[in-house]
Amino acid sequence: MEPINEVHVSERGLAVVDITAADDATAFTLQEALAGRWATATADRTTRSPGQPGVRLRCYLDLRQPMDAGCLDGETGLTPSSSTAS
């Protein structure tokens, strides 16, 4: 993965999340769950590192954004089959 750009964590409430998962579907499902709660710059593909297990994906969160009302109840509506792997 590329180094984290300082602008992505320059203010309180901004976060960079690196996801490592067994497969694309799992990584994208987690990304969708995060995006359902907070403003998220999402990735459209995963990467693989030679000699390392699984796939990697990076997304950027803005925790300052209000949460969706459905997420307050823990209802994201996400299932593994609802993700879109590329």
Q: How does pLDDT run across 1-23, given as a tens digit for each residue?
A: 677 777 667 789 899 899 999 99
Distance of CA 10 to CAs 2, 6, 37, 40, 42, Å? 17, 6, 21, 16, 19
Is the pTM here over 0.75, yes or no?
Answer: no
Residue 85 lies in a domain: no
**pLDDT for 58:** 92
Domains: count for the chain: 1
Tens digits of residue pLDDT in 19-55: 999 999 999 999 999 998 888 888 999 999 899 999 9
Distance of CA 11 to CAs 1, 14, 24, 48, 63, Å? 22, 6, 30, 30, 10
Residue 80 lies in a domain: no
Residue 77 lies in a domain: no
Residue 36 lies in a domain: yes
Residue 86 lies in a domain: no
Residue 11 lies in a domain: yes
Domain hosting residue 18, numbered range: 6-69
**pLDDT for 73:** 43
CB 31 within 8 A of CB 63: no
- Tell me the torsion sign for CA atoms 27, 38, 63, 70: negative
**pLDDT for 56:** 95
Q: What angle do CA 54, 32, 52 make, to 5 degrees?
A: 10
Residue 19 lies in a domain: yes
